[in-house]
């Protein structure tokens, strides 16, 4: 694993795990009588790779809300604010020093 991009390692492991947990790659739908169900569409989870120029040490020993810089650290994925038709899982992996918005490497796995 040396010299491998951490995000690539997580992405590859997630892709392998989703084979066995394929409903997590689906979308939440509303059925008859407003019953919620998972549509096993295979659309994938949303994986976002970003870079940040801040370390956790900057926030102190205990990380508790309200989080400073929350809006700068978390990417608001367009179309993911609703419950229906959104990915069931969204991964955001932060690497090295520079935040990019929008993320340069946003993919569905």
CA 8 to chain centre: 14
Q: What is the pTM of this model?
A: 0.59
* Cβ neighbours of residue 73 closer than 8 Å, sequence gap 6 or more: 52, 54, 67, 94, 99
pLDDT tens-digit readout, 13-54 = 888 988 898 888 888 899 899 999 999 988 888 888 877 777
Domain 6-108 has CATH 3.30.559.10: yes
Task: Give the H or E element holding residue 53.
Answer: none
Distance from C-alpha of 96 to C-alpha of 90, rounded to nearest angstrom: 20
For residue 61, what pLDDT is reported? 65
pLDDT of residue 95: 62
Instruction: Provide the pLDDT for residue 94.
Output: 65
Residue that is written with structure tokens 């295979």 in the block:
42
- Kind of pairing, strands 46-51 and 90-95? parallel
| 88 vs 81: which has the higher pLDDT | 88
More confident residue, 87 or 20: 20
Query: What pLDDT is stored for residue 97 in this prediction?
Result: 46
């Amino acid at each position: 694993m040396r010299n491998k991009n951490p995000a690539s390692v997580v992405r590859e492991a997630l892709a392998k795990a989703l084979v066995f947990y394929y409903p997590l790659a689906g979308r939440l739908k509303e059925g008859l009588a407003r019953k919620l169900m998972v549509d096993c569409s295979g659309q994938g989870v949303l994986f976002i790779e970003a870079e940040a120029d801040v370390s956790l040490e900057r926030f102190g020993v205990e990380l508790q809300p309200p989080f400073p810089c929350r809006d700068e650290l978390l990417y608001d994925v367009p179309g993911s604010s609703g419950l229906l038709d959104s990915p069931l899982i969204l991964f955001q992996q932060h690497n090295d020093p520079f935040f990019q918005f929008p993320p340069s490497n946003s993919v569905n796995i």
